[in-house]
Amino acid sequence: MPKRERNKFVRRGEIIEILIEDYAFGGKGIGRIRNEHGEFVVFVPNTLPGQLVKTQIKKTSKKYAEGKLFEVLKASDDEVDMPYQSIPGAPYIQLPIEKQHQYKKQSTLELFKRIGKVADIEDKFDEFVTSPNTFHYRNKMEYGFSAIGYDHDLKTDVDEFTLGFKKRGTWWCGDDLKKDSGLFDAEFENRLKEIKAYCVNTNLAPWHPPKREGFFRYFVVRKSYKTNQLLFNLVTTSYDLPKFDLNEFAKFLVELFGDRVAGLLHTINDETGDRTIATTGSISLVYGDDKIVEELLDLNFEISMKSFFQTNPKCAEKLYTKVVDYALENKDAVDNTVVLDLFCGTGTIGQIIANKAENTKIVGVDIVAAAIKDAEENAKRNGIEGLKFYAADVGKFLTEHPEYTNKIRTIILDPARAGIAPKTLKKIINLNAERLVYVSCNPATQARDTEQLMASGYTIKKMSLVDQFPHTAHIETVVLFEK
Ligand-binding site membership of 343 (annotated):
yes
Distance of alpha carbon 56 from its chain centroid, rounded?
A: 25
Ligand-binding site membership of 310 (annotated):
yes
Question: Known catalytic residue: 441?
Answer: yes
Polymer length of the chain: 483
Other CB atoms within a 10 A radius of the CB of residue 60 amount to 20
* Residue 297 to residues 16, 135, 323, Cα–Cα distance (Å): 49, 21, 13
**Which residue of the set 173, 199, 315, 441 is catalytic?**
441
d(CA 67, CA 75): 18
d(CA 129, CA 138): 17
d(CA 368, CA 415): 12
| Helices 348-356, 313-327: inter-axial angle, 10-degree rounding | 50
Ligand-binding site membership of 414 (annotated):
yes
64-74 and 125-129 as β-strands: parallel, antiparallel, unpaired? unpaired
DSSP secondary structure letters along 24-88: ETTTEEEEEEEETTEEEEEEEET--TT-EEEEEEEEE-SSEEEEEEEEEEE--TT----SS---T
SS (H, E, C) 254-270: HHHHHHHEEEEEEEECC
d(CA 229, CA 290): 12
DSSP, collapsed to helix, strand or coil, labels residue 397 as: helix
Q: Which neighbouring-strand residues pair with 144?
A: 164, 218
DSSP secondary structure letters along 152-221: TTTTEEEEEEEEEEEPTT-SS-EEE--S--SSS-HHHHHTHHHHHHHHHTTTPPBPBTTTTB-SEEEEEE
d(CA 357, CA 336): 8
d(CA 56, CA 68): 5
Ligand-binding site membership of 78 (annotated):
no
DSSP, collapsed to helix, strand or coil, labels residue 465 as: strand
Detail the residues annotated as belonging to a binding site.
Answer: 310, 343, 366, 414
Point out the annotated binding site for S-adenosyl-L-methionine. Answer: 310, 343, 366, 414
Annotated active-site positions, please?
A: 441
